Amino acid sequence: MTWDIVSTHRCALGESPVWDKNKNRVLWVDILTGEIHHFYPESGRHDTDRTGQKTGAIALRKSGGLIAALENGFYEIDIDNRLQNLISNPEKHLPDNRFNDGKCDPTGRFWAGTMSMSDKPGAGKLYALEKDLSVTVKIENVSCSNGLAWSPDQKIFYHIDTLTQNVVAYDFEALTGHISNPEIVIQISKEEGYPDGMTIDSEGMLWIAIWNGWKIARFNPFTGKKISEVKLPTAQITSCTFGGKDLTDLYVTSARTGLTGEQLNKQPYAGSLFMIGDTHCRGLETFEFMG
Ligand code: CA
C-alpha cells in the first residue's frame, strides 16, 4: 500500500479525520491550535476554521454543522456562520482535563473521552452526548481516551486507552447505548508503538494508528493478530478514516508536536494528512450526530 500527501498543511497534532459524503470533503482537526480543516479532494480547496480552544474531535451533525469535543466541553458549531455554542461541560470541575478523541455511534450519539493535560493516570472518562443533549459516562478511570469503533453489525464497541497498549471490546446495545463485558482483544507491544486513533472496515477489521510506530496496522479483533500494515514517512501517526466516493481511500492524520529540529528535518511530512488509495478495503459510512 502506498501513501500520498493530501495537503501541504502541517498540523501540530492532527486528529479526528471525518469523511463527509454530502460535500465530498475530508475534515480533520489540529488539537493544539484548535483548527478545523476541510479539504475537497476534487477541487483542492482547503478551508480552515478556528475554535479558540483545544479541539479534541469533531463529528457531522445530521441537522447541519458539526458537533465537537473541545477543551471545555461539548459544543455545537455552525461552520457557515462561524458560531459555536456550549452544550455541556461534564468536567467543569477538572480544569486540567481536556477532551480527546471522539466519534458518533451508529444510532447518532457522540462519544468522546477526556485526558489529563499533565498526564495524570486514570483522570479521564469516556462520555456520550445523547441525542437529547444529556451526557452519560461510559467508561471511568481512563488515562488517554483514544480510538473508538463500532462493529459492522453494531453489536461490539471497541475502545483504546493508549497507555494500556490494548484494544478493549464491549458488548454494545445500539438502542440504549449501554456497554458491558469488557474484554482485551488486541495487545500492542511498546516496541511497535502506542495505539492511538482507529477505524473499522466492512469486514470488521480494525485499522489502528500507531503513535511512534510510523504506521497504520490492520488487526483482526477476533484473533488479536495483525493482518497487515502501511508504513508512513513520519513517526507520530494519530488516526485514520475511510473516505472517497466508494469509502476505499484511507485518510491518515499525523503530528509534529514534540519532535526535535533534527527529527523534523528527517520527517518533513510530519503533521500532514496522508491518503492511501490502494487499501483494497472499504470503510463504513460516517455516523452523524442525530441530536
Ligand atoms: Ca489521539
Q: How far is the CA of 124 from the centre of ligand 1 (A)?
A: 14
Catalytic positions are 196
Q: Which residues surround ligand 1, an ion (CB under 5 A)?
A: 101, 146, 196-197
Amino acid at residue number 36: I
User: pLDDT-derived band of residue 81, with 50, 70 and 90 as boundaries?
Assistant: confident
Q: Are 18 and 59 in contact (CB under 8 A)?
A: yes
CA 101 to ligand 1 centroid distance, Å: 5
Q: For residue range 99-158, what is the model confidence (pLDDT) as tens digits?
A: 999 999 999 999 999 999 999 999 999 999 999 999 999 999 999 999 999 999 999 999
Proportion of the chain above pLDDT 70, given as a percent? 100
Q: Which of 19, 18, 17, 12 is nearest to 34 (CA)?
A: 12
In the reported structure, the alpha carbon of residue 223 is separated from the centroid of ligand 1 by a whole-number distance in angstroms of: 24
Residues 6+ apart with CB under 8 A from 208: 147, 160, 167, 186, 188, 195, 196, 197, 198, 216, 217, 218, 219
pLDDT over 90 at 72, yes or no: yes
- Going from the Cα of 269 to the center of ligand 1, the distance in angstroms, rounded, reads 18
User: Residues 204-209: what's their mean pLDDT?
Assistant: 98
Within 8 A by CB and 6+ apart from 288, the residues are 59, 60, 61, 62, 104, 108
Q: Which CATH superfamily is domain 3-276 in?
A: TolB, C-terminal domain (2.120.10.30)
pLDDT at 160: 98
Question: How far is the centre of ligand 1, averaged over its atoms, from the C-alpha of 211 (Å)?
Answer: 9
Cβ-based neighbour number of residue 139 at 10 Å: 19
Q: Where are the domains of the chain?
A: 3-276
Average pLDDT, rounded, for the chain: 97
Q: What is the pLDDT of residue 82?
A: 80
Whether the model pTM is above 0.85: yes
Q: pLDDT band at residue 29, thresholds of 50, 70 and 90?
A: very high
> How confident is the model at residue 286, as a pLDDT?
97
- Report the pLDDT averaged over residues 71-97: 93
What is each CA distance from 147 to 94, 113, 245, 269, in whole angstroms? 22, 10, 24, 23
Name the E strands within 133-174.
135-142, 145-150, 156-161, 166-172
Report the phi/psi class of residue 126: left, alpha or beta, with left for phi > 0 and alpha for psi in -120 to 50: beta
- Picking from 8, 44, 11, the residue whose alpha carbon sits closest to that of residue 28 is 11
Residue 109 C-alpha to ligand 1 middle, in angstroms?
19
Residue 13 CA, ligand 1 centroid: distance in Å: 9
List C-alpha distances in Å: 56 to 101, 178, 194, 214, 230: 5, 23, 18, 22, 25
| Strand bridging mode 226-231 / 215-219 | antiparallel
Question: pLDDT at position 79, please?
Answer: 81
Which three cell numbers mark 147? 480510538
